[in-house]
Amino acid sequence: MQKFSFHTHSVFSDGKNTVFEMVEQATRLGFEKIGVSDHLSVHKNIIHAPSYQETKKISHQSFDEVVDICNKHAEDIRKAEKIYGIKTYVGYEVDYFTYNGWEEEFKDFLKKIDYDYLITGNHFLMSQNGEDIFDIWRFSNYSERVSENIKVYIKRHFETLQKAVRSKLFLFLAHMDYVQKIKDYRQEDYQQEIDSVVAALKETNTASEISTKGIRKFGHFFPSESILEKLIKNDVALIISDDAHSINELGSYFDDAEQELLLLKCNKRLVV
Ligand SMILES: [Zn+2]
Ligand SMILES: [Zn+2]
């Protein structure tokens, strides 16, 4: 039974509880350790993303503006570890962007902050050059604003996931089929793209999550069972995530996830 979560959020991004409350709850649940992985979404044009007004708090235009707040956040997490006495890690759920220069700036930024690990969770569709971004979260509200066929954007989204994985910066890939939030998305239309992401995970020895957030929101795990089967067949390591945005969500449905992995005969788990 997995007794830790490495995909959790605090008030630093869009979570409801402080890092102290999250770590305290982890000890209550008998967790061995916890990683706090708040959102890190830095894009030079993020203020033009359609849902910017709603996601302002977690959207940043440059890495320079987040160095200090990230280091202060890491300090809090280190403090929480001392107070509650369980191993605690500083992580980030990073939106990987593809415009020229982004990756270099990101790597530069990493040298300036205190952190332990990164996961990649991509929440945007983007234009060919990566300069214009559209939040998947509320896509149905403004779908007429994108200029190309939606399928082109979704295919590109899977390519972005692949690039993120191939950068080898990330411990695991979060919610691989996040695009299912888009109305009319049909997995059958993107088998080739999904297979390429799976191949990238396999080749780079990067893990994927099985997230119980799907159970809470859609009644099934993220990613879908057929993707989980592909991952397992390709020997990609899996980690159970709750994507907890509050103390109540921490460790939720982990028993069911264990059951699912047993059923799917998964025998490669991410060791952290
Ligand atoms: Zn996410
Ligand atoms: Zn998350």
Ligand lying closest to the C-alpha of residue 243: 2
Identify the nearest ligand to the CA of 13 by its number: 2
Q: Is the pLDDT of residue 109 over 80?
A: yes
Q: Which CATH architecture has domain 4-263?
A: Alpha-Beta Barrel (3.20)
Task: Determine the pLDDT at residue 30.
Answer: 98
Q: What is the rounded average pLDDT of the residues 201-225?
A: 95
Distance 68 CA to ligand 1 centre (A): 23
Cα–Cα distance, 26 to 94 (Å, whole number): 23
Return the domain boundaries, the chain: 4-263
Task: State yes or no: pLDDT of 163 exceeds 80.
Answer: yes
Alpha helices by DSSP H, the chain: 19-28, 52-55, 67-84, 102-110, 150-166, 191-204, 213-218, 225-233, 254-263
CA of 123 to the centre of ligand 1 (A): 6
Q: How far is the CA of 158 from the centre of ligand 1 (A)?
A: 15
The whole-chain average pLDDT of the chain stands at 96
The percentage of residues in the chain with a pLDDT greater than 90, rounded to a whole number, is 89
| Ligand showing the shortest atom-to-Cα distance for residue 249 | 2
Distance from the alpha carbon of residue 8 to the mean position of ligand 1, in angstroms: 10
Q: What is the DSSP string of 202-214?
A: HHHT-EEEEETHH
126 CA to centre of ligand 2 in angstroms: 19
- 217 has a pLDDT exceeding 90: no
**Rounded Cα gap, residues 255 and 78, in angstroms:** 29
Is the pTM for the entire model greater than 0.85?
yes
Query: What does the pLDDT look like over 222-240, one tens digit per residue?
Result: 999 999 999 999 999 999 9
How many angstroms is it from 5 CA to the middle of ligand 1?
A: 14
What tokens appear for 33 in the block?
């350790």
Return d(Cα 129, Cα 121) in angstroms, integer: 19
Kindly give the distance from the C-alpha atom of residue 40 to the centroid of ligand 1, in angstroms, as a whole number.
10
Q: How far is the CA of 123 from the centre of ligand 2 (A)?
A: 10
Instruction: State in Å: Cα 54 to ligand 1 middle.
Output: 16
- DSSP secondary structure of 138-165: TGGGTGGG-SS-HHHHHHHHHHHHHHHH
